[in-house]
Amino acid sequence: MSATVEETIQYASQESPDSPRRTVRVGICGLGTVGSGTVNVMSRNAAEITARCGRPVEIVQVGARRDNPACDTSQMQVSREIFDVATNPEVDILVELIGGTTVARELILTAIENGKHIVTANKALIAEHGNELFEAAASKGVTIAYEGAVAGGIPIIKSLREGLVGNRIQWLAGIINGTGNYILTEMREKGRTFEEALAQAQALGYAEADPTFDVEGIDAAHKLVIMASLAFRMPLAFDKVYTEGISGISIEDIRYADELGYRIKHLGIARGTEQGVELRVHPTLIPQRRLIASVNGVMNAVMVSGDAVGPTLYYGAGAGAEATASAVIADIVDVARTLEATPDQRVPLAGVAAGGQGQNCVLPMDEVVTSYYLRISAHDKPGVMSQVAKICSDQGISIEALIQHEPAEGEALVPVVILTSRAKEARLREAVSQIEALDTVEGEVVRIRVEPLG
């Protein structure tokens, strides 16, 4: 007969501190949105967590420059000096929630040096310094868990590292920045311009005063590279991700995409090919019939396709105090369950056993093959279409669909919208530069990649 929650708690707390099932002692650094959410959820769900873990898990210390009225730390030791947590012999697991890549890196290295396991939700830190941190952790026999770093509450790290481990991953594609998704959704549903939707996102607290990380795809690139490293057994290669933002997307393009049966989403995409792994973040036309096309507002979703399982979809809140706390606590419980295990008994840090990691083989963007949406501003004169068709055909690109409406009253220019066949990026770029050089074409050609996701 299984024990009740109360019996489990009583049993675990009666053990001596040296017993293998003693209380696991957690130190949290950073009491911002995610830190306070973690304190609150751990306190509210303590019995549930203990029952699942088979032992109590207690926050024994918080390191934070100031208190946060959103959570109660009156029963915890609070230090204004976060490095106290990294050196405290009473702490088993240091939870890094301060963000940034400088102090956070030093904090984690100090904690590792002091034999602590690490839980972090810091995507920039893992993406940019993960290789170094994993090596440091492996040499000390401790672990680093980072579920909260990607897509908030969605357990995508665990899915890639454990749930899908029997597959060869073919590709993954995700809406992994809630702010960008909110902006694109507002533009499509309310007809707002990019600037209006961004201002709205800032007013609601989704976007920072400087929105560069979110709208230019850097935040998504951090998350993509972490997922790709697990999916394709390769070292983290943040500097090799191709990144394009959404600030150039117009309502006009969203409307044409609709007319063609597509939605425009800002995707992080990683795909395994014979020549290397594609790593790219950019606005993308995706078929409206895909479930992921209906992921709107600030929500996140990731599709992962494996050779055995086929395409799978993971959906949920990509940010927020308690959603991210959910991921952070899952990591704390994972570490707590295996606190006394030897490193080879734990799930490996980067998802592969020692010696199992492959090379860092990112495919150069010129070699990437996709279809394209092109919008050309052309003069309403005979012969333009045949010139464009010839340029495409000379580059081995065929035209799969075309929209040309009558020019608006008094307008000399007419938008010509084309969906191309799949072509190498370098060939497409050459075709576009020849089209832009035509006398009959004005300005730059708008180009957005198309992915079937099936």
Binding stretches for ligand HSE (CB under 6 A): 177-179, 206, 214, 219, 318-319
To the question of whether residue 34 is assigned a binding role by annotation, the answer is: yes
Which is closer to ligand HSE, CB of 214 or CB of 278? 214
To the question of whether residue 32 is assigned a binding role by annotation, the answer is: yes
388: Cα separation from own chain's centroid: 37
Name the token pair of 105.
């890196």
To the question of whether residue 393 is assigned a binding role by annotation, the answer is: no
Closest separation in Å from C-beta 172 to ligand HSE? 17
Do 22 and 15 touch, CB atoms closer than 8 A? yes
Closest separation in Å from C-beta 89 to ligand HSE? 33
Which is closer to ligand HSE, CB of 50 or CB of 179? 179
Would you tell me how many other CB atoms lie within 10 Å of the CB of residue 55? 25
Which is closer to ligand HSE, CB of 160 or CB of 299? 299
Residue in 241, 267, 264 with CA at minimum distance from that of residue 254: 264
Q: Which amino acid is at 378?
A: A
Closest separation in Å from C-beta 206 to ligand HSE? 6
Would you tell me how many other CB atoms lie within 10 Å of the CB of residue 122? 26
To the question of whether residue 174 is assigned a binding role by annotation, the answer is: no
User: What DSSP assignment string belongs to 200-261?
Assistant: HHHHTTSS-SS-HHHHTTHHHHHHHHHHHHHHTT----GGG-EE--STT--HHHHHHHHHTT
Do 319 and 178 touch, CB atoms closer than 8 A? yes
Round to whole Å and give the CA distance between 115 and 106. Answer: 14
Catalytic residue among 223, 265, 381, 390: 223
Which is closer to ligand HSE, CB of 214 or CB of 322? 214
Closest separation in Å from C-beta 453 to ligand HSE? 20
To the question of whether residue 416 is assigned a binding role by annotation, the answer is: no
223: annotated active-site residue? yes
Residue ranges of the binding site for L-homoserine: 208
Residue ranges of the binding site for NADPH: 123
